[in-house]
Amino acid sequence: MSWLVTLLMPIALVMATVRLLITPAYLIFEYNTPGFPADPYGFTQADRLNWSKIAAEYLLNDADISFLADLRFPEGQQAPPESCQYMDDCTRLYNERELKHMEDVKAVVKVALNVWYASLGILLLLWFVAGQAHWGPLYRQGLQRGGWLTIFLLLGIILFVLLSFNVLFVAFHNIFFQAGTWQFLFSDTLIRLFPERFWRDTFIAVGVLSGAAGFLIAYFPRAK
């Protein structure tokens, strides 16, 4: 049971961080980081915040894809011509390929969150059992090991991001999505809202925040 606690800790900490980043607060922070690239096709920062918050909301709510499919550019704006080749109406914010990908992303997020909830539930159950069976020290030992395991895993990911982010990014998408379904034009709305810089920073944020949480869990019980 102690080793089960150890193995569940990275899942619980990483997914807690991911959930924290699917929030308007993170979007505001990220779009205001120094040097964040402007959209060459005309989205202002206010536009990005508005549309990205709606996209994040879609990933967490129970709505179907019409939640995004019904979105339109403001009057006088439309998608760049090269991004309209899959649609008859260039006033729609997302083209069909983008909408299909967002459906896939929502499915992945739903599964990931369910895994997170399950890991938290099992950790809570084991904590209760540990209290009843008087093996609290072994439970804390499992937490500590899990904290260190999280640190080592996330340090590896951060190093990979710094040395070869493109390789990691492609590998990540090929694991969770069908090949070719997640690649878009620079003029597509998803890329305009979430350029490569956004995802690089997000991977680093997950690594840093999860690693910091792992350090707190690993260090302070021992110090005490």
Q: What is the pTM of this model?
A: 0.87
**Backbone torsions φ then ψ of 118, nearest 5 degrees:** -65, -40
Mean pLDDT by 10 residues, the chain (224 residues): 92 95 96 95 94 97 95 86 71 92 96 95 93 88 92 86 84 86 91 95 92 88 49
Q: What ranges in the chain are assigned the alpha helix state H?
A: 2-21, 24-31, 45-60, 66-69, 96-133, 136-176, 189-193, 196-223
State which amino acid sits at residue 206.
V
pLDDT attached to residue 87 = 53
Please say whether the beta carbons of 210 and 17 come within 8 A.
yes
Provide the sign of the torsion angle of the four alpha carbons 114, 115, 121, 125, taken in this order. Answer: positive
Classify 85 as helix, strand or coil: coil
pLDDT attached to residue 178 = 86
Q: What is the rounded CA–CA span in Å between residue 83 and residue 122?
A: 46
pLDDT attached to residue 224 = 45
